[in-house]
Amino acid sequence: MIELAPCRWWNEYTKNGSLMAAAAAMLCVATVTFSQPSAVAPVAAHYPAKLIRLIVGFPPASAADIAARVVGQRLGPALGQQIVVDNRPGAASNIAADLVAKSAADGYTLFTATVANAINAALYPKLAFDFVRDFAPIELAVATPNVLVVHPSLPARTVQELIALAKNRPRQLTYASAGVGTVLHMSAELFKSMAGVDMVHVPYQGSPPALTAVMAGEVALMFAPSSTVMPHVDSGRLRALAVTTKSRLASLPELPTVAASGLDGFETLLWIGFVAPAKTPPAIVTRLNGEITKALAQPEVREVFAAQGIETLGGTPGEFAAYIRDDVARWARVIRSSGMKAE
């Protein structure tokens, strides 16, 4: 059985590009039933013995959905079972996370976790689950870097010049975001905190309208995903100042990092990984980590992600657990210092 309903829109979205159409075809078979027999090693009671649900807290076409479908398309045959990608959008993915946190810890309900969950841990103090306590990290899979861009009319060509300008014009510079609490908003708040500047936040309903506002000169700057912003930089409608990664991007070697531009330690990513409910048997977590690692190493998988501006990561469950703890703590500090509250 092939579940094609969630992918109808995707074929429309990608019909104008051959590479993206190929990527879409790959994504749309992510929920195929693989009925051929598989000799599963006797790990955690012969896991897996039935289909696995991979919950996504965002709608189709989101970066989290893409990651789930690309990885799920490879994970299914490797495990000998069906991987069903189940989109449960709403409340910045809190609804989906709560569902998985309360699911049986048997490896048959997994969650596509993102940086939003690390931010939400502090932004929503009354959540019914704890992102660190109630999940077993499996693997940090992919990430989308962000780029600091300004309108070309702004007299700042470097991060240092932008900081100096903001200090000379307190609360006169505005920055756009995809909404309160999004990683784009949090990137700017982290920038403000580390640079010691005061700028005015202008939230929008998503990244596209925020980007449009900056290009129109209605807002001075924003942190935006590299995959969506660079065509506008190339056309001259925006000026890119720096990337938010620890080191320069191979795809954008001419851009310095924010960290190397005077804000040592600055890093923000739209990261995506996979987790299971807490107390999932370690043998199952290890098995899933191994198969996801193999999937991420495949050239065709890397090509699909690269076409979306998504970088492949990877690592052990322990490394991902440490990353989550650090990220939750970091965003909690930013949220406390800014006095931010959820809408």
What total of structural domains would you count in the chain? Answer: 2
In the predicted model, what is the mean pLDDT of the chain? 88
**CATH code where residue 254 lies:** 3.40.190.10
Identify whether 93 is part of a domain. Answer: yes
**CATH code where residue 111 lies:** 3.40.190.150
Is a pLDDT exceeding 50 seen at residue 24?
Answer: no
User: In this predicted model, what pLDDT tens digit does every residue of 293-325 receive, in sequence order?
Assistant: 999 999 999 999 998 889 999 999 999 999 999
Identify whether 341 is part of a domain. Answer: no
Identify whether 34 is part of a domain. Answer: yes
Residues 114, 22 within the same domain: yes
**222-245 core/surface letters (b: 16 or more CB in 10 A; e: else):** bbbbbbebbebbeeebbbbbbbbb
User: In this predicted model, what pLDDT tens digit does every residue of 168-217 receive, in sequence order?
Assistant: 999 999 999 999 999 999 999 999 999 999 999 999 998 899 999 999 99
Residues 139, 9 within the same domain: yes
Q: Calculate the CA 178 to chain-centre distance.
A: 13
Range of the domain at 166: 146-268
Residues 257, 314 within the same domain: no
* Mean pLDDT on 37-53: 69
User: In this predicted model, what pLDDT tens digit does every residue of 246-267 receive, in sequence order?
Assistant: 999 887 899 999 999 999 999 9
Find out whether 53 and 109 touch, Cβ atoms under 8 Å: yes
Identify whether 123 is part of a domain. Answer: yes
Residues 194, 289 within the same domain: no
Residues 168, 189 within the same domain: yes
Burial of 309 (0-12, 13-18, 19+ CB in 10 A): middle
Identify whether 342 is part of a domain. Answer: no
Identify whether 294 is part of a domain. Answer: yes
Q: Among residues 236, 264, 269, 268, which one has the least CA distance to residue 149?
A: 236
Residues 51, 156 within the same domain: no
Return the bridge partners of 282, or none. none
Return the bridge partners of 312, or none. 142
- CA–CA distance, 253 with 309 (Å, rounded to integer): 15
Residues 273, 138 within the same domain: yes
- CA–CA distance, 146 with 162 (Å, rounded to integer): 17
* Mean pLDDT on 219-235: 92
Q: 224, 239, 268: which is the final residue of a domain?
A: 268
Residues 131, 22 within the same domain: yes
Find out whether 120 and 94 touch, Cβ atoms under 8 Å: yes
Return the bridge partners of 137, or none. 275
Identify whether 343 is part of a domain. Answer: no
The pTM of the full predicted model, rounded to 2 decimals, is: 0.83
Q: 217, 251, 268: which is the final residue of a domain?
A: 268
Q: How far is CA 288 from CA 43, 171, 208, 218, 296, in A?
A: 11, 48, 35, 47, 12
Residues 122, 170 within the same domain: no
User: In this predicted model, what pLDDT tens digit does every residue of 127-157 receive, in sequence order?
Assistant: 999 999 999 999 999 999 999 999 999 999 9
Q: 213, 245, 268: which is the final residue of a domain?
A: 268
C-alpha Rg value of the chain to the nearest Å:
20
Share of the chain above pLDDT 90, in %: 77
Find out whether 68 and 25 touch, Cβ atoms under 8 Å: no
Residues 73, 162 within the same domain: no
Confidence of residue 20 (pLDDT cuts 50, 70, 90): very low
Residues 120, 206 within the same domain: no
Is a pLDDT exceeding 60 seen at residue 328?
Answer: yes
Q: How far is CA 336 from CA 125, 129, 330, 332, in A?
A: 12, 20, 10, 6
Confidence of residue 342 (pLDDT cuts 50, 70, 90): confident
Identify whether 290 is part of a domain. Answer: yes
Is a pLDDT exceeding 90 seen at residue 41?
Answer: no
Residues 212, 182 within the same domain: yes
* Mean pLDDT on 96-107: 98
Q: What one-letter code names the amino acid at 49?
A: A
